[in-house]
Amino acid sequence: MERGTKQLRVTADFDRTLTSGVSVSAHGVLETSNALSQSFREAGAKLFDKYYPIECDPTISIADKTPLMKEWYATNHLNMLEEGLDRGQIKAAVEAASDTLIFRHQAERVFEVLQGHGIPLLVFSAGLGDVIDQVLAQRIPFELASSTLVVSNRMIFDESKGDGGLAVGFKDPLIHMFNKSEEALAGEMGDDEEHRNMLKRESVILLGDSMGDVTMGDGGPFPPSTILRIGFCNKDLDANLDNYKRAFDCVILNDGSMAPVVTLLEGVIGQ
C-alpha cells in the first residue's frame, strides 16, 4: 500500500461483509418483508433453508456448489417477477428492515474515510443492486459520490407500471457468490471512463466474508499489482478458520468490527 491513496481502491462484498454477520441479506430484505405477499416470503424461506447451508458448507467444493447457487438465484428471481415487484415495494421493504439489516460496526466510517479522500469503493455483490442502492440511500448519513459504485444483480423495470416502475426481468449476466472476479467486475462496469480509471488503480484492499469473495481481484483488463485480502469469518470457526487463513491475508473473527480496516485506511492516508 506504499503507493498511497492515488493508486488505491477498495473492493468489498456487501452481505455479511459491509453488513453484520447476523444481518439479513439484500435478497432477504425482500424475502422477509410484509410489503410482499406471505406466499412469496414462505417460498423465499424454503429456498434459503435449502441452499444457504450448501453455500456455507466447507466440505462441498465450489465446482459442486456453483450450479446449485445458480438454481437458487434463478428460482428466487423468478419468484420476484411473479410477485409483481415494483420500486415502491423495494423502498418500503428496506425501510421495514431497519432492525434486521445491520451494518457491521464501523462500516459507515469506511464509507466516510474513502469518500473523504477520493478513494473508490466498489461494492461487488451477488445480492440485489436495487435493494443495496436503497439501503445506502436510507442508511448512509451523507450523499455518496460517484466514487462509490454498486456492481450487482440489477432488475429491468417497466417505468410505465407500478409504483416507480414494475420489475419485468433481470439484466445479464447473473452474479452469484462463486463467479465474482475482476473480469466480471470490468464487464459489468462497461466502457465508462471514470469506472475504468477506478479499475486501473494498482493497489486493492479486498473485503469479503466467503471463499467466493477471494477471487474478486482476479483477472480483468487491468490486473492490480497488489491485493490485500481481508476476510470476515463470521461463524463456525472450527470448520472454516483454516481455509480462511489460507485464502485471506488477514482474518477478522466472530462478526468483528471494521475498525481494523479503518485503522489501515487511516494509516495509508497518513503516509
Q: Which of 13, 86, 133, 213 is labelled catalytic?
A: 13
> Is 13 tagged catalytic?
yes
Query: Residue 260 has which C-alpha cell?
Result: 481494523
Q: Which of 15, 86, 130, 213 is labelled catalytic?
A: 15
Question: Active-site positions?
Answer: 13, 15
